[in-house]
């Protein structure tokens, strides 16, 4: 996997997710999550068809970035991000590259009201946010 630059401690972010599972309005946990860095998978662009249900969506920001979007069986579209390499490897074993980004940057550039953010999908304490939830989290980043 790509080596991650220095940044927020994944265990701090994971503890914030665990606290939010108990109390969704925990201000300390929301603050920690808003200021955390996450791993954004970068799918291989090799020959052949893309993985089933996978697509990319351009985030709406000055600094353009492509976000991986996964289509769920119920039609929901999710951008998966992870707090650690091990959690990403468990959920997406075929992905071996990622970008480490501040969660606030993703929230600031969120592409659509139709796309959800899921943090640590497939892991205990996973959290899924609507576009409005992502923007609310961004609103907490200033404090």
Question: How many angstroms separate the CA atoms of 6 and 23, rounded?
Answer: 29
Does residue 3 have a pLDDT over 60?
Answer: no
Question: How many angstroms separate the CA atoms of 118 and 65, rounded?
Answer: 18
pLDDT 10s digits, 41-51? 987 665 444 44
- Distances in Å between the Cα of 10 and the Cα atoms of 15, 30, 115 are 9, 15, 24
Mean pLDDT calculated for residue range 107-130: 87
Predicted pLDDT of residue 30? 85
Does residue 69 have a pLDDT over 60?
Answer: yes
Question: Which tokens belong to 25?
Answer: 């309005």
What share of the chain has pLDDT > 90, as a percent? Answer: 25
Question: How many angstroms separate the CA atoms of 141 and 135, rounded?
Answer: 10
Question: How many angstroms separate the CA atoms of 23 and 30, rounded?
Answer: 10
Mean pLDDT rounded to a whole number for the chain: 78
What share of the chain has pLDDT > 70, as a percent? Answer: 73
φ, ψ of residue 115 to 5 degrees: the values are -115, 135
CB 78 within 8 A of CB 110: no
Predicted pLDDT of residue 44? 67
């Amino acid at each position: 996997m790509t080596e991650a630059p220095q940044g927020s401690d994944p265990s701090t972010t994971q503890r914030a997710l665990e606290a939010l599972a108990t109390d969704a309005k925990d201000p300390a946990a929301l603050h920690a999550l808003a200021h955390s860095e996450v791993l954004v998978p970068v799918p291989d662009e090799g020959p052949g068809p893309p993985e089933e249900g996978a697509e990319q969506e351009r985030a709406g920001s000055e600094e353009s970035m492509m976000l991986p979007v996964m289509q769920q069986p119920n039609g929901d579209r999710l951008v998966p991000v992870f707090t650690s390499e091990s959690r990403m490897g468990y959920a997406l074993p075929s992905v071996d590259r990622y970008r480490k980004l501040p969660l606030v940057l993703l929230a600031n550039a969120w592409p659509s009201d139709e796309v959800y953010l899921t943090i640590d999908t497939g892991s205990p304490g996973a959290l899924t946010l609507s576009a409005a939830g992502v923007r609310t989290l961004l609103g907490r980043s200033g404090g």
